[in-house]
């Protein structure tokens, strides 16, 4: 659908002008995809503040670019960034914005050393800011990614039993997502059992599940480029009092966080809504990561819902809400949904639909 990409480029162009640039060199892969539709590990867009864009990629992706991006001028080059910078200068776009969050010092130095090259200036996160608010077609793709995730989760639950290992479950879950239509897992699946549950980003290993474990499973499918992200913690055998207690606390904090995720809510306030409940129960130091993040063409994207973030949530912004409690040496609980902040509805649109009641397996 080239017209969608053309509309997105038209939205970005005034921001380029506002930043004082004549054109922007867009290199973040998700931004290139967003503006052109091209999926490539080596492509860049030269987007002037006014007028048509130029897409550059190497010969490996030339055929895909011709097919997927018929409405942009195409440059097939080995060294795409210098080629576009030279072209900018030739076209009189002397002030060239670049994405300083992506371009390395080495790559910038190459551009700065070009004869008659443009003047370089950081352009900020112009495209990331546009990407934050999704259109309904994007939300549909994300919803499909989340539906695959929930379905895969349900189908592997029977395999959560004593003796199975974290890694076995992670592999099974990832394969099931692909079998259900995911193009790939959205990120490396986390399965953290027993004391490993105290490590928020535990890499699943050979530890076999045992009765008495809490098991945290953080997974997501990628569908048409969009990333689902969901976490559930389940109990193997009847949970101990402390396990049920932290579970119910995290579940309540998660519900409160979801309820607070409305258009206009300040990011820091949404974070505090969950965090304060956890802190009030004496677990402030056991919840050290942010409450959530945007999801879309990247698994972590704007907005970040965290204590020191400024800014507010907007209509049609998909985010995660994922409080946790991690008790070193003992275990942990995290509960995470992907949902869409919506104006005019009583609550956010929940995309991950697996129950948040504590499942005792």
Q: Residues in the site for its own copies, rule: CB under 8 A?
A: 39, 59-61, 63, 98, 100-106, 108-109, 122, 171, 175, 178, 199-201, 203, 288
- Shortest distance (Å) from residue 15 CB to its own copies: 18
Here the tokens at position 150 are 């929930």
Q: Which of 212, 188, 220, 214 is nearest to 202 (CA)?
A: 188
- Shortest distance (Å) from residue 102 CB to its own copies: 6
Here the tokens at position 357 are 């009641």
- Shortest distance (Å) from residue 143 CB to its own copies: 23
Residue number with CB closer to its own copies (178 or 259): 178
- Shortest distance (Å) from residue 200 CB to its own copies: 6
Q: What is the DSSP string of 207-275?
A: PBP-TT-EEEEEE-EEETTEE--EEEEEESSSPPHHHHHHHHHHHHHHHHHHHH--TT-BHHHHHHHHH
Alpha carbon dihedral 85, 86, 91, 93, in 10-degree steps, equals 40
- Shortest distance (Å) from residue 250 CB to its own copies: 18
Here the tokens at position 346 are 């009583």
| Contact call for residues 316 and 292 (beta carbons, < 8 A) | no
Cα–chain-centroid distance for residue 199?
Answer: 20
SS3 120: strand
Residue number with CB closer to its own copies (103 or 270): 103
Q: What are phi and psi of 359, to 5 degrees?
A: -85, 125
- Shortest distance (Å) from residue 34 CB to its own copies: 19
DSSP 286: G
- Shortest distance (Å) from residue 183 CB to its own copies: 9
CA–CA dist 260, 256 (Å, integer): 6
Residue number with CB closer to its own copies (182 or 339): 182
- Shortest distance (Å) from residue 344 CB to its own copies: 37
Cα–chain-centroid distance for residue 331?
Answer: 26
Other residues' Cβ atoms within 10 Å of the Cβ of residue 65: 23
Q: What is the DSSP string of 176-213?
A: HHHHTT-SEESSPPEEEEGGGGGSTTPPP-SPBP-TT-
Tell me the angle at which helices 105-112 and 80-90 cross, rounded to the nearest 10 degrees.
40
């Amino acid at each position: 659908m080239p017209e969608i990409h053309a509309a997105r480029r038209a939205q970005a162009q005034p921001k380029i002008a506002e930043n004082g640039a004549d054109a922007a060199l867009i290199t973040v892969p998700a931004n290139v995809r967003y503006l052109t539709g091209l999926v490539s590990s080596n492509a860049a867009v030269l987007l002037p503040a006014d007028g048509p864009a130029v897409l550059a990629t190497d010969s490996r992706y030339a055929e895909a670019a011709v097919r997927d991006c018929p409405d942009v001028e195409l440059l097939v080059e080995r060294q795409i960034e210098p080629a576009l910078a030279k072209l900018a200068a030739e076209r009189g776009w002397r002030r060239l914005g670049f994405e300083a969050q992506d371009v390395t010092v080495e790559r910038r130095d190459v551009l700065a050393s070009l004869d008659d090259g443009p003047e370089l200036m950081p352009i900020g996160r112009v495209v990331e800011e546009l990407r934050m608010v999704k259109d309904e077609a994007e939300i549909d793709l994300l919803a499909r990614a989340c539906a695959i995730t929930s379905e895969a989760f349900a189908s592997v639950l029977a395999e959560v039993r004593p003796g199975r290992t974290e890694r076995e479950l992670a592999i099974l879950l990832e394969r099931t997502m692909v079998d259900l239509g995911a193009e790939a897992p959205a990120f490396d699946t986390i399965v953290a059992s027993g004391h490993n549950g105290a490590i928020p980003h535990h890499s699943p290993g050979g530890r076999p599940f045992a009765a008495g474990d809490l098991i945290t499973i953080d997974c997501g499918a990628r569908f048409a480029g969009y990333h689902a992200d969901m976490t559930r913690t389940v109990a193997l055998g009847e949970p101990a009092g402390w396990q049920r207690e932290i579970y119910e606390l995290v579940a309540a904090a998660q519900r409160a966080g979801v309820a607070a995720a409305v258009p206009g809510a300040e990011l820091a306030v949404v974070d505090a809504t969950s965090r304060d409940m956890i802190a009030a129960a004496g677990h402030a130091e056991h919840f050290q990561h942010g409450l959530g993040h945007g999801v879309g063409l990247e698994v972590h994207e704007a907005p970040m819902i965290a204590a020191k973030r400024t800014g507010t949530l907007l209509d049609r912004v998909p985010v995660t809400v994922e409080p946790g409690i991690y008790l070193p040496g003992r275990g942990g609980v995290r509960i995470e949904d992907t949902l869409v902040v919506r104006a005019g509805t009583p609550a956010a649109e929940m995309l991950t639909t697996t129950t948040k009641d504590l499942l005792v397996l």
